[in-house]
């Protein structure tokens, strides 16, 4: 249906009909108006597979493929792989008559305690944004819509419906909003879902600054905005702010509120925004309805009902998991496993932990068990070792240690029980259950050739680093994690994932410590832009494992770096080419990470920031050229005075390597930026006159009033950090009226 036809359709509706469309029919679908042939469309969780609920409630769901959750997918550093996963989810959505998939989730991992971290990609906005864009493009390539969520700053579960997050403008722009900006501009999601929380006092569901000024006016978003389930506070204000669809349906409650707002009647919930006076025009309702119907008709017309190949999708899920799991330690080349008998220890070997809890929980079709898959490749003996139902049960340790001692090696598959992390609450610590840690200690005493496989949705402490031979971080691997773990352990696949977040040695090291989850309804993001690796590097804190870190069964040598230009304007694009050699004996993939550092920043900036990355396959002994491009934003910071992105003139260092703490290649580029000239004011410091383009003109005119002898006096006999008003108040020269007039005249001149 064309925009003109939709506009005509809207003109035929009553006010009540329009208002009814702006709220869901029920928990999972939109309202239909049969008399006008307006259809209903279906929505479904979740980010890493469909959770289409059966009936109208929140219980059982239709079986679907459970793909690797976001925390693992991001470790691929591969936008194309994310697109592949998205496409498979899109195919299943078509088969299950789902028109909008509620995902991906794209919030920044501010703290390792975040209960929903398994559902989010990274601590870094560039990595988060690119992986999110891949998922969106994949789903939408199958003519299914997406809901990029949760906009914005949903970085904790504690008091998530009401918490007020106090965040500086620069941190918002460079970190928390930046992760959404790239996928909005590049992938053009069908919709965005707002978060529950408040940001600097305003609920995101009714923040016109977020939903209209930034999202639409600045970023050019053309879709519609829906609420998270139950996130709307004042419905008319949410429409005013730019939120079209409230979910789930609230019956006639908010239909009444919207009609009240149009008729000028008193609202049940008073507006919180001074810019909204409690009244809406019918044109504002029409605009919201039109935006929603454009998506509804488009997606309804693209329904295919085409069946999908779930068996193929299972294989895809397993292949993706193999590309993402991270080898953290491999002392003495303990991996891959070669011959002998392997003790497989841990209940997760037979009861896999492969996804997180909450709204993203998929009723998986075919979950494979690590023990079954490992037994296909070699001789194994199983011992339970610990209980997933009782983490205080130590009775299984002795038997597990005995089994381990009688085999050639032990593989302990352990991690966080489901009760430790889920939507709805945050973690209290980042430790594994004590029973699992004691199990590891006892097994290592009996079997020095011990390998750990971790299944967890977020970072954990690892007191066993260096005590065991190898550690494979499997995260939550989706339904094919059994195959992925076995293939990586036995060398059927070569590990190539890298950490998308920093693993701290201690909880106290992380940047949000002391300000998470807040108190008295407020949480202060006092670390500002220093999130994740930016914090650890700035404060010279050594993490357990750094951002971007991961090992392989082969080795890579970074041979050289070339820049297409060594001197650029701030709006120029530059290409960086890296020469990379696989120096090992097996084929493998390496993730090339490119960071940028400003050498002499005018504001506080991180030691370096990820600005580009590329995953490349290289055969053993071969060399490849890896090109990457940087644009203006790679060098820019958010200027809080100008409320805009600014680039400073000067030298920047481009660093390239295989992790944030290992960048062997570097090259300098000189950036010539347009001067950022602040207008003179009574509060300009005297020392600033020396470098300000209009400083000389100011002194010339001032001396016409004060006399020429003051020209030398102003710098030699005053405090250079005095504001200009002190020329009058401290030196007794001229009047404030004189200064204001001179400043006004100079600022107005070209």
Amino acid 584: pLDDT? 97
Residue 529 structure tokens: 């832009």
Q: 7: phi > 0 → left, psi -120 to 50 → alpha, else beta; which?
A: alpha
Cis (ω within 30 of 0) for the bond into 452?
no
At 298, give phi and psi (nearest 5°): -60, -45
User: Which position among 124, 228, 426, 487 bears the catalytic label?
Assistant: 228
Contact criterion met (CB below 8 Å) for 658 and 613: no
Sequence-distant (6+) residues with CB within 8 A of 287 are none
Closest CA to 42 of 85, 101, 95: 101
Which residues neighbour 602 within 8 Å (Cβ) at sequence distance 6 or greater? 648
CB 637 within 8 A of CB 170: yes
Give whole-number Cα distances, 153 to 204, 218, 602, in Å: 9, 18, 27
Closest of 43, 163, 201, 181 to residue 106, by C-alpha: 181
CA dihedral 734, 739, 740, 745 (to 10 degrees): 120
Dig out the tokens for 303 from the structure. 């329904």
- 290-308 in b/e burial notation, b at 16+ Cβ within 10 A? bbbbbbbbebbeebeeeeb
* CB burial of residue 600 (10 Å; 0-12, 13-18, 19+): exposed
Locate 334 and state its tokens.
């303990």
Quote the tokens at residue 745.
């005249």
Give residue-wise pLDDT tens across range 569-595. 999 999 999 999 999 999 999 999 999
The low-confidence residues of the chain, meaning pLDDT below 70, are 56-57
Measured at the CA of 388, the angle between CA 384 and CA 390, to 5 degrees, comes to 105
- pLDDT score recorded for residue 522: 97
Cα 79 to Cα 657: distance, rounded to the nearest angstrom: 19
Q: Report the alpha-carbon distance of residue 430 to residue 416 in Å, rounded.
A: 9
CA–CA distances in Å: residue 422 to residues 13, 61, 104, 123: 43, 18, 17, 18
User: pTM of the entire structure?
Assistant: 0.94
Q: Which of 457, 489, 453, 458 is nearest to 473 (CA)?
A: 453
Per-residue pLDDT at 13: 97
DSSP-derived 3-state class of residue 413: strand
Q: What domains, with CATH codes, occur in the chain?
A: 39-248 (3.20.20.300), 311-522+533-538 (3.40.50.1700), 556-672 (2.60.40.10), 686-748 (no CATH)
662: Cα within 13 Å, side-chain hemisphere: 15
Contact 347, 384 (CB under 8 A): yes
Cα 523 from chain centroid?
Answer: 19
Enter the tokens of residue 2: 């064309």
Instruction: Answer yes or no: are the C-beta atoms of 198 and 231 closer than 8 Å.
Output: no
- pLDDT the model gives residue 56: 65
Closest CA to 530 of 175, 109, 75: 175
631 is catalytic: no
């Amino acid at each position: 249906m064309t925009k003109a036809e939709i506009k005509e359709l809207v003109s035929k509706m009553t006010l009540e009909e329009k208002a009814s469309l702006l709220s869901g029919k029920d928990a999972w679908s939109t309202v239909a108006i049969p008399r006008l042939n307006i259809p209903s469309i279906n929505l479904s969780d979740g980010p890493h597979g469909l959770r289409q609920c059966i009936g109208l409630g929140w219980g059982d769901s239709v079986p679907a493929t459970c793909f690797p959750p976001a925390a693992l997918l991001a470790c691929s550093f591969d936008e194309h792989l994310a697109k592949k996963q998205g496409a498979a989810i899109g195919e299943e959505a078509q088969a299950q008559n789902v028109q909008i998939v509620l995902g991906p989730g794209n919030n920044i991992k501010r703290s390792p305690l975040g209960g929903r971290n398994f559902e989010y990609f990274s601590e870094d906005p560039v990595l988060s944004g690119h992986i999110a864009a891949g998922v969106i493009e994949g789903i939408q390539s199958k003519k299914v819509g997406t809901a990029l969520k949760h906009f914005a700053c949903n970085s904790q579960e504690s008091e998530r419906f009401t918490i007020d997050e106090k965040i500086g403008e620069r941190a918002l722009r460079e970190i928390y909003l930046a992760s959404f900006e790239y996928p909005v501009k590049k992938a053009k999601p069908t919709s965005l879902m707002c978060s529950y929380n408040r940001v600097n006092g305003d609920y995101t569901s009714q923040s016109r600054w977020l939903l209209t000024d930034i999202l639409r006016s600045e970023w050019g978003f053309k879709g519609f905005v829906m609420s998270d389930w139950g996130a709307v506070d004042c419905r008319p204000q949410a429409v005013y702010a730019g939120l079209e669809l409230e979910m789930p349906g609230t019956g006639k409650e908010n239909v009444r509120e919207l009609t009240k707002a149009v008729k000028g009647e008193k609202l049940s919930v008073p507006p919180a925004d001074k810019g909204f006076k409690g009244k809406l025009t019918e044109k504002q309702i029409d605009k919201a309805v039109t935006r929603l119907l454009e998506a509804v008709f488009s997606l309804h017309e693209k329904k295919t009902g085409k069946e999908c190949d779930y068996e193929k999708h299972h294989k895809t899920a397993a292949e993706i998991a193999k590309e993402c799991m991270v080898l953290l330690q491999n002392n003495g080349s303990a991996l891959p496993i070669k011959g002998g008998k392997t003790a497989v220890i841990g209940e997760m070997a037979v009861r896999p932990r492969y996804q997180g809890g909450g709204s993203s929980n998929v009723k998986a079709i075919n979950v494979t068990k690590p023990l079954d898959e490992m037994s296909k490749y070699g001789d194994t003996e199983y011992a339970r070792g610990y209980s997933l139902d009782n983490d205080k049960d130590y009775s299984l340790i002795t038997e597990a240690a005995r089994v381990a001692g009688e085999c050639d090696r032990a593989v302990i598959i352990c991690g966080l029980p489901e009760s430790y992390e889920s939507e709805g609450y945050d973690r209290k610590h980042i430790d594994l259950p004590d029973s699992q840690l004691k199990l590891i200690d006892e097994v290592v005493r009996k079997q020095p050739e011990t390998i750990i496989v971790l299944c967890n949705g977020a970072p954990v402490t690892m007191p066993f680093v260096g005590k065991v031979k190898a550690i494979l971080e499997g995260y939550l691997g989706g339904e094919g994690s059994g195959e992925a773990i076995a293939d990586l352990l036995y060398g059927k696949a070569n590990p190539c994932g890298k950490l998308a977040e920093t693993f701290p040695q201690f909880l106290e090291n992380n940047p949000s410590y002391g300000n998470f989850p807040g108190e008295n309804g407020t949480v202060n993001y006092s670390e500002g832009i220093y999130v994740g690796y930016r914090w650890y590097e700035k404060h010279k804190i050594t993490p357990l494992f750094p951002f971007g870190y991961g090992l392989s069964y082969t080795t890579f040598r970074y041979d050289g770096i070339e820049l297409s230009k060594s001197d650029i304007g701030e709006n120029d694009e530059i290409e960086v080419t890296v020469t990379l050699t696989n120096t090992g004996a097996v084929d493998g993939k390496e993730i090339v990470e490119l960071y940028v550092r400003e050498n002499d920043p005018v504001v506080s900036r991180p030691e370096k920031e990820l600005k580009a990355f590329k995953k490349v396959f290289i055969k053993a002994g071969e060399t490849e050229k890896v090109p990457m491009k940087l644009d203006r934003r790679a060098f820019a910071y958010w200027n809080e005075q100008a409320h805009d992105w600014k680039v400073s003139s000067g030298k920047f260092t481009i660093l390239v390597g295989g992790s944030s703490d290992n960048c062997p290649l570097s090259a300098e580029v000189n950036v010539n930026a347009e001067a950022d000239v602040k207008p003179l004011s009574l509060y300009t410091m005297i020392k600033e006159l020396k470098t300000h383009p209009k400083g000389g003109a100011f002194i010339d005119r001032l001396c016409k009033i004060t006399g020429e002898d003051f020209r030398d006096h102003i710098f030699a006999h005053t405090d250079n950090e005095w504001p200009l008003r002190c020329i009058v108040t401290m030196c007794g020269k001229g009047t404030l009226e004189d200064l204001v007039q001179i400043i006004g005249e100079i600022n107005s001149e070209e």
